[in-house]
Protein backbone atom coordinates (compact mmCIF):
# COMPACT_ATOMS: atom_id res chain seq x y z
CA UNK A 1 0.00 0.00 0.00
CA UNK A 2 1.43 3.35 -1.10
CA UNK A 3 0.42 6.73 0.28
CA UNK A 4 1.32 10.14 -1.08
CA UNK A 5 1.86 12.60 1.78
CA UNK A 6 1.51 16.37 1.44
CA UNK A 7 2.76 18.88 4.04
CA UNK A 8 2.47 22.69 3.98
CA UNK A 9 1.77 23.77 7.57
CA UNK A 10 4.61 26.31 7.91
CA UNK A 11 7.46 27.27 5.57
CA UNK A 12 8.21 23.85 4.08
CA UNK A 13 6.31 22.58 1.04
CA UNK A 14 6.80 18.82 1.04
CA UNK A 15 5.59 15.67 -0.66
CA UNK A 16 6.66 12.05 -0.16
CA UNK A 17 5.61 8.52 -1.03
CA UNK A 18 5.69 5.87 1.72
CA UNK A 19 4.92 2.17 1.36
CA UNK A 20 3.30 0.25 4.23
CA UNK A 21 4.12 2.96 6.79
CA UNK A 22 7.82 2.25 7.03
CA UNK A 23 9.37 2.21 3.56
CA UNK A 24 10.26 5.64 2.20
CA UNK A 25 10.23 5.80 -1.61
CA UNK A 26 10.66 9.55 -2.06
CA UNK A 27 10.97 12.65 0.06
CA UNK A 28 10.90 16.11 -1.55
CA UNK A 29 11.11 19.32 0.49
CA UNK A 30 11.13 22.92 -0.80
CA UNK A 31 11.68 25.46 1.96
CA UNK A 32 10.91 29.17 1.79
CA UNK A 33 13.11 29.62 4.88
CA UNK A 34 15.62 31.86 3.00
CA UNK A 35 12.84 34.33 2.17
CA UNK A 36 12.05 34.79 5.87
CA UNK A 37 15.61 35.42 7.11
CA UNK A 38 15.37 39.18 6.51
CA UNK A 39 12.30 39.33 8.80
CA UNK A 40 13.74 37.14 11.59
CA UNK A 41 10.86 34.64 11.42
CA UNK A 42 8.21 33.13 9.14
CA UNK A 43 6.01 35.71 7.37
CA UNK A 44 2.70 33.85 6.79
CA UNK A 45 1.82 35.64 3.52
CA UNK A 46 5.25 34.94 2.00
CA UNK A 47 5.06 31.28 3.10
CA UNK A 48 1.59 30.86 1.56
CA UNK A 49 2.61 32.46 -1.75
CA UNK A 50 5.63 30.24 -1.95
CA UNK A 51 3.52 27.08 -1.29
CA UNK A 52 1.29 28.03 -4.24
CA UNK A 53 4.31 28.36 -6.53
CA UNK A 54 6.01 25.09 -5.67
CA UNK A 55 3.37 22.63 -4.48
CA UNK A 56 2.64 20.94 -7.84
CA UNK A 57 6.31 20.68 -8.89
CA UNK A 58 7.10 19.22 -5.44
CA UNK A 59 4.30 16.62 -5.70
CA UNK A 60 5.27 15.69 -9.27
CA UNK A 61 8.89 15.28 -8.20
CA UNK A 62 7.90 13.05 -5.26
CA UNK A 63 5.88 10.81 -7.61
CA UNK A 64 8.70 10.73 -10.19
CA UNK A 65 11.37 9.92 -7.56
CA UNK A 66 9.19 7.05 -6.30
CA UNK A 67 8.75 5.89 -9.93
CA UNK A 68 4.99 6.22 -9.48
CA UNK A 69 2.01 7.81 -11.13
CA UNK A 70 -1.34 8.34 -9.42
CA UNK A 71 -2.31 4.84 -10.69
CA UNK A 72 0.21 3.35 -8.22
CA UNK A 73 -0.98 5.43 -5.25
CA UNK A 74 -3.61 4.04 -2.84
CA UNK A 75 -4.44 7.26 -1.02
CA UNK A 76 -3.46 10.85 -0.25
CA UNK A 77 -2.61 12.05 3.25
CA UNK A 78 -2.47 15.78 3.96
CA UNK A 79 -1.69 17.92 7.01
CA UNK A 80 -4.83 19.89 7.92
CA UNK A 81 -3.53 21.22 11.28
CA UNK A 82 -1.91 22.55 13.35
CA UNK A 83 -0.18 25.34 11.46
CA UNK A 84 -0.52 28.64 9.64
CA UNK A 85 -3.99 29.01 8.09
CA UNK A 86 -2.90 30.33 4.70
CA UNK A 87 -0.17 27.69 4.40
CA UNK A 88 -2.41 24.78 5.42
CA UNK A 89 -5.04 25.89 2.95
CA UNK A 90 -2.72 25.42 -0.04
CA UNK A 91 -1.85 21.82 0.92
CA UNK A 92 -5.42 20.89 1.83
CA UNK A 93 -7.03 22.38 -1.30
CA UNK A 94 -4.38 20.73 -3.51
CA UNK A 95 -4.88 17.34 -1.81
CA UNK A 96 -8.67 17.62 -2.03
CA UNK A 97 -8.48 18.42 -5.74
CA UNK A 98 -6.01 15.60 -6.47
CA UNK A 99 -8.13 13.12 -4.48
CA UNK A 100 -11.24 14.06 -6.46
CA UNK A 101 -9.73 14.04 -9.93
CA UNK A 102 -7.77 10.81 -9.36
CA UNK A 103 -10.55 9.16 -7.36
CA UNK A 104 -8.31 8.38 -4.36
CA UNK A 105 -9.20 8.21 -0.65
CA UNK A 106 -8.11 11.26 1.35
CA UNK A 107 -6.77 11.21 4.93
CA UNK A 108 -6.47 14.28 7.16
CA UNK A 109 -3.29 14.28 9.24
CA UNK A 110 -2.46 15.95 12.55
CA UNK A 111 1.01 17.46 12.03
CA UNK A 112 2.18 16.97 15.64
CA UNK A 113 1.12 13.32 15.73
CA UNK A 114 2.83 12.82 12.37
CA UNK A 115 6.19 13.98 13.80
CA UNK A 116 6.12 10.82 15.95
CA UNK A 117 5.55 8.69 12.83
CA UNK A 118 8.83 9.83 11.28
CA UNK A 119 10.26 7.26 13.72
CA UNK A 120 8.37 4.43 12.05
CA UNK A 121 10.24 4.89 8.78
CA UNK A 122 12.83 2.14 8.92
CA UNK A 123 13.85 1.61 5.32
CA UNK A 124 14.53 3.97 2.52
CA UNK A 125 15.53 4.03 -1.11
CA UNK A 126 17.00 7.46 -0.50
CA UNK A 127 20.70 7.04 0.14
CA UNK A 128 21.27 9.83 2.63
CA UNK A 129 18.39 8.87 4.92
CA UNK A 130 19.23 6.31 7.56
CA UNK A 131 16.61 4.17 9.17
CA UNK A 132 15.89 4.00 12.89
CA UNK A 133 14.87 1.11 15.12
CA UNK A 134 11.13 0.47 15.03
CA UNK A 135 9.30 1.73 18.14
CA UNK A 136 7.31 -0.78 20.19
CA UNK A 137 4.27 -0.22 22.42
CA UNK A 138 3.72 1.08 25.03
CA UNK A 139 5.68 3.99 23.57
CA UNK A 140 6.53 7.29 25.22
CA UNK A 141 6.78 10.07 22.61
CA UNK A 142 8.55 13.36 23.24
CA UNK A 143 7.61 15.92 20.58
CA UNK A 144 9.86 18.99 20.52
CA UNK A 145 9.24 21.44 17.69
CA UNK A 146 8.84 25.11 16.86
CA UNK A 147 5.15 25.03 17.78
CA UNK A 148 4.87 22.18 20.31
CA UNK A 149 6.51 20.57 23.31
CA UNK A 150 4.63 17.55 24.55
CA UNK A 151 4.85 14.13 26.11
CA UNK A 152 2.48 11.46 24.82
CA UNK A 153 1.95 7.87 25.92
CA UNK A 154 0.83 5.45 23.20
CA UNK A 155 -0.67 2.08 24.18
CA UNK A 156 -0.98 1.36 20.47
CA UNK A 157 -1.50 3.18 17.17
CA UNK A 158 -4.40 5.63 17.64
CA UNK A 159 -4.66 4.79 21.35
CA UNK A 160 -2.74 7.52 23.13
CA UNK A 161 -2.96 10.09 25.89
CA UNK A 162 -1.36 13.49 26.24
CA UNK A 163 0.66 13.47 29.48
CA UNK A 164 1.67 17.11 29.38
CA UNK A 165 2.63 20.02 27.18
CA UNK A 166 4.07 23.51 27.26
CA UNK A 167 1.92 26.11 28.94
CA UNK A 168 3.56 28.98 27.03
CA UNK A 169 6.40 28.91 24.47
CA UNK A 170 7.44 25.75 22.63
CA UNK A 171 11.08 24.70 23.07
CA UNK A 172 11.87 25.47 19.39
CA UNK A 173 10.35 28.91 19.83
CA UNK A 174 12.68 29.48 22.81
CA UNK A 175 15.69 28.43 20.67
CA UNK A 176 14.55 30.87 17.96
CA UNK A 177 13.97 33.76 20.40
CA UNK A 178 17.28 33.27 22.22
CA UNK A 179 19.00 33.19 18.82
CA UNK A 180 17.49 36.60 18.04
CA UNK A 181 18.71 38.03 21.37
CA UNK A 182 22.30 37.03 20.60
CA UNK A 183 22.06 38.07 16.95
CA UNK A 184 21.87 34.68 15.20
CA UNK A 185 19.74 34.41 12.05
CA UNK A 186 16.47 32.48 11.63
CA UNK A 187 16.00 29.52 12.06
CA UNK A 188 17.64 29.90 15.44
CA UNK A 189 17.78 26.28 16.64
CA UNK A 190 20.56 24.96 14.41
CA UNK A 191 22.54 28.21 14.83
CA UNK A 192 22.33 28.05 18.64
CA UNK A 193 23.44 24.40 18.52
CA UNK A 194 26.47 25.33 16.40
CA UNK A 195 27.54 28.30 18.52
CA UNK A 196 26.94 26.36 21.77
CA UNK A 197 29.79 24.02 20.77
CA UNK A 198 32.21 26.92 21.36
CA UNK A 199 30.73 27.88 24.73
CA UNK A 200 30.71 26.55 28.28
CA UNK A 201 27.28 25.23 29.37
CA UNK A 202 28.13 25.94 33.02
CA UNK A 203 29.14 29.56 32.52
CA UNK A 204 25.77 30.98 33.55
CA UNK A 205 23.14 29.54 35.89
CA UNK A 206 19.73 29.77 34.22
CA UNK A 207 16.46 28.59 35.83
CA UNK A 208 14.60 25.35 35.07
CA UNK A 209 10.84 26.03 35.29
CA UNK A 210 9.11 23.99 37.98
CA UNK A 211 5.90 22.80 36.37
CA UNK A 212 3.32 20.32 37.69
CA UNK A 213 3.15 16.81 36.30
CA UNK A 214 4.40 16.60 32.73
CA UNK A 215 3.80 20.20 31.70
CA UNK A 216 6.56 22.46 30.42
CA UNK A 217 7.27 26.20 30.38
CA UNK A 218 9.98 27.96 28.39
CA UNK A 219 9.00 31.62 28.51
CA UNK A 220 10.72 32.23 31.88
CA UNK A 221 13.95 30.76 30.51
CA UNK A 222 13.75 33.03 27.48
CA UNK A 223 13.27 36.11 29.73
CA UNK A 224 16.13 34.96 31.97
CA UNK A 225 18.38 34.84 28.88
CA UNK A 226 17.29 38.36 27.91
CA UNK A 227 18.10 39.69 31.41
CA UNK A 228 21.44 37.85 31.38
CA UNK A 229 22.34 39.33 27.96
CA UNK A 230 21.41 42.83 29.19
CA UNK A 231 23.53 42.38 32.32
CA UNK A 232 26.51 41.02 30.38
CA UNK A 233 26.21 43.85 27.82
CA UNK A 234 26.06 46.39 30.64
CA UNK A 235 22.85 48.03 29.39
CA UNK A 236 19.56 48.95 31.07
CA UNK A 237 16.28 46.98 30.77
CA UNK A 238 14.88 49.41 28.19
CA UNK A 239 17.84 49.02 25.81
CA UNK A 240 16.48 47.83 22.40
CA UNK A 241 16.88 44.04 22.29
CA UNK A 242 17.59 44.16 18.53
CA UNK A 243 20.84 46.05 19.29
CA UNK A 244 21.89 43.89 22.22
CA UNK A 245 24.00 41.44 20.24
CA UNK A 246 26.30 44.27 19.09
CA UNK A 247 27.30 44.83 22.72
CA UNK A 248 28.22 41.19 23.41
CA UNK A 249 31.54 39.52 22.65
CA UNK A 250 31.68 36.26 20.65
CA UNK A 251 32.71 34.42 23.83
CA UNK A 252 29.73 35.83 25.77
CA UNK A 253 27.33 34.82 22.97
CA UNK A 254 28.76 31.29 22.82
CA UNK A 255 28.48 30.94 26.61
CA UNK A 256 24.88 32.20 26.56
CA UNK A 257 24.00 29.76 23.74
CA UNK A 258 25.61 26.83 25.58
CA UNK A 259 24.06 27.68 28.97
CA UNK A 260 20.58 28.13 27.45
CA UNK A 261 20.81 24.90 25.43
CA UNK A 262 21.98 23.01 28.52
CA UNK A 263 18.94 24.10 30.58
CA UNK A 264 16.49 23.53 27.70
CA UNK A 265 17.83 19.98 27.25
CA UNK A 266 17.83 19.29 30.99
CA UNK A 267 14.16 20.33 31.16
CA UNK A 268 13.26 17.71 28.53
CA UNK A 269 15.43 15.04 30.20
CA UNK A 270 13.86 15.59 33.64
CA UNK A 271 10.26 15.22 32.45
CA UNK A 272 11.04 12.30 30.13
CA UNK A 273 12.84 10.41 32.90
CA UNK A 274 9.92 11.05 35.28
CA UNK A 275 7.44 9.71 32.69
CA UNK A 276 9.68 6.73 31.96
CA UNK A 277 9.79 5.81 35.65
CA UNK A 278 6.03 6.15 36.09
CA UNK A 279 4.81 4.44 32.90
CA UNK A 280 7.70 2.05 32.12
CA UNK A 281 7.22 2.23 28.33
CA UNK A 282 8.95 -0.33 26.14
CA UNK A 283 10.26 2.39 23.81
CA UNK A 284 10.92 6.14 23.86
CA UNK A 285 10.70 8.26 20.72
CA UNK A 286 12.10 11.78 20.34
CA UNK A 287 10.63 13.70 17.37
CA UNK A 288 10.05 17.18 15.93
CA UNK A 289 12.46 19.84 14.66
CA UNK A 290 14.39 20.21 17.93
CA UNK A 291 15.05 16.44 17.86
CA UNK A 292 17.62 17.35 15.18
CA UNK A 293 19.74 18.73 18.06
CA UNK A 294 22.54 16.20 18.51
CA UNK A 295 23.29 17.21 22.14
CA UNK A 296 19.64 16.59 23.04
CA UNK A 297 19.68 13.21 21.27
CA UNK A 298 22.92 12.10 22.97
CA UNK A 299 22.09 13.35 26.46
CA UNK A 300 18.50 12.08 26.51
CA UNK A 301 19.69 8.72 25.17
CA UNK A 302 22.31 8.34 27.90
CA UNK A 303 19.86 9.31 30.65
CA UNK A 304 17.40 6.49 29.76
CA UNK A 305 17.70 2.75 30.40
CA UNK A 306 16.41 1.98 26.86
CA UNK A 307 17.88 3.09 23.55
CA UNK A 308 16.26 6.36 22.43
CA UNK A 309 14.61 6.12 19.02
CA UNK A 310 14.83 9.24 16.93
CA UNK A 311 14.22 9.71 13.20
CA UNK A 312 17.01 10.47 10.76
CA UNK A 313 17.96 14.16 11.26
CA UNK A 314 16.35 15.01 7.87
CA UNK A 315 13.04 13.59 9.06
CA UNK A 316 13.02 15.56 12.36
CA UNK A 317 12.16 18.93 10.82
CA UNK A 318 9.01 19.30 8.73
CA UNK A 319 8.63 16.78 5.92
CA UNK A 320 5.91 14.79 4.17
CA UNK A 321 7.38 11.33 4.80
CA UNK A 322 5.95 11.47 8.33
CA UNK A 323 2.57 12.56 6.91
CA UNK A 324 2.51 9.66 4.45
CA UNK A 325 3.64 7.21 7.14
CA UNK A 326 0.80 8.18 9.49
CA UNK A 327 -1.54 8.01 6.45
CA UNK A 328 -0.49 4.37 5.87
CA UNK A 329 -1.19 3.48 9.51
CA UNK A 330 -4.59 5.21 9.25
CA UNK A 331 -5.46 2.95 6.30
CA UNK A 332 -4.13 -0.16 8.04
CA UNK A 333 -6.09 0.59 11.24
CA UNK A 334 -9.36 1.49 9.46
CA UNK A 335 -9.31 5.08 10.64
CA UNK A 336 -11.94 7.38 9.11
CA UNK A 337 -11.28 8.97 5.72
CA UNK A 338 -11.72 12.68 5.07
CA UNK A 339 -14.35 14.02 2.67
CA UNK A 340 -12.48 15.53 -0.29
CA UNK A 341 -15.41 17.89 -0.90
CA UNK A 342 -15.41 19.38 2.59
CA UNK A 343 -12.11 18.80 4.50
CA UNK A 344 -11.33 22.01 6.38
CA UNK A 345 -8.05 23.33 7.76
CA UNK A 346 -7.65 23.30 11.55
CA UNK A 347 -4.88 25.82 12.42
CA UNK A 348 -5.05 25.17 16.18
CA UNK A 349 -5.64 21.40 16.06
CA UNK A 350 -4.37 19.61 19.17
CA UNK A 351 -3.66 15.91 19.77
O1 LIG B 1 9.19 20.50 13.53
P2 LIG B 1 9.65 21.75 12.92
O3 LIG B 1 10.40 21.70 11.61
O4 LIG B 1 8.44 22.74 12.70
C5 LIG B 1 7.35 22.80 13.59
O6 LIG B 1 6.47 21.91 13.50
O7 LIG B 1 7.39 23.72 14.43
O8 LIG B 1 10.53 22.50 14.03
C9 LIG B 1 11.16 23.71 13.78
C10 LIG B 1 11.93 24.10 15.03
C11 LIG B 1 12.49 25.52 14.96
O12 LIG B 1 12.17 26.19 16.15
C13 LIG B 1 13.99 25.29 14.84
O14 LIG B 1 14.76 26.33 15.39
C15 LIG B 1 14.14 23.99 15.63
O16 LIG B 1 13.03 23.22 15.25
N17 LIG B 1 15.39 23.27 15.31
C18 LIG B 1 16.38 23.05 16.20
C19 LIG B 1 17.41 22.38 15.51
N20 LIG B 1 17.01 22.20 14.20
C21 LIG B 1 15.76 22.75 14.11
N22 LIG B 1 16.48 23.37 17.51
C23 LIG B 1 17.60 23.01 18.15
N24 LIG B 1 18.63 22.38 17.55
C25 LIG B 1 18.60 22.04 16.25
N26 LIG B 1 19.63 21.41 15.68
ZN1 LIG C 1 6.64 20.34 12.59
**66 and 81 housed in the same domain:** yes
Residue nearest to atom 4 of ligand 1 (CA): 146
Answer yes or no: is pLDDT of 38 > 90. Answer: no
- CA distances (Å), 288 to each of 32, 65, 96, 217, in order? 19, 25, 26, 17
pLDDT in tens, 209-259: 999 999 999 999 999 999 999 999 999 999 998 899 999 999 999 999 999
In a domain, 350, yes or no: no
Residue nearest to atom 2 of ligand 1 (CA): 289
The CATH number of the domain holding residue 259 is 3.30.420.40
Ligand 1 neighbours by CB, cut-off 6 Å: 10, 145-147, 172, 175-176, 187-190, 193, 288-290, 292-293, 317-318
In a domain, 339, yes or no: no
pLDDT in tens, 80-125: 999 999 999 999 999 999 999 999 999 999 999 999 999 999 888 7
**247 and 280 housed in the same domain:** yes
**173 and 202 housed in the same domain:** yes
Residue 136 backbone phi and psi in degrees, to 5: -120, 160
pTM for the full predicted model: 0.96
In a domain, 194, yes or no: yes
Q: Measured from the CA of 288, which atom of ligand 1 is nearest?
A: 1
Answer yes or no: is pLDDT of 55 > 70. Answer: yes
Question: Could you give the number of structural domains in the chain?
Answer: 2
**76 and 145 housed in the same domain:** no
**Closest by CA position to 318, among listed 8, 3, 2, 5:** 8
**188 and 283 housed in the same domain:** yes
**63 and 174 housed in the same domain:** no
How many other C-beta atoms are found inside a 10 Å radius of the C-beta of residue 31? Answer: 18
Q: Please list the alpha-helical segments (H only) found in 19-110.
A: 33-36, 44-65, 85-102
Amino acid sequence: MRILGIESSCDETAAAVVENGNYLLSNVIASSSDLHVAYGGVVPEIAARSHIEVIMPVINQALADAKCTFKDIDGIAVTNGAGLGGSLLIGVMTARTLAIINNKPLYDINHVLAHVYASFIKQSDIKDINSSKTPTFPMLAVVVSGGHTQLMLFKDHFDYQLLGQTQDDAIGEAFDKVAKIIGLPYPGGPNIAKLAEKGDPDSYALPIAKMDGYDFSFSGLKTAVLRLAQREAGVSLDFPSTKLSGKLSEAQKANIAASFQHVAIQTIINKTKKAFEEFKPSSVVLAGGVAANSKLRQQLNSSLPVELISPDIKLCTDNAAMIASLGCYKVEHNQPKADPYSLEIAPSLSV
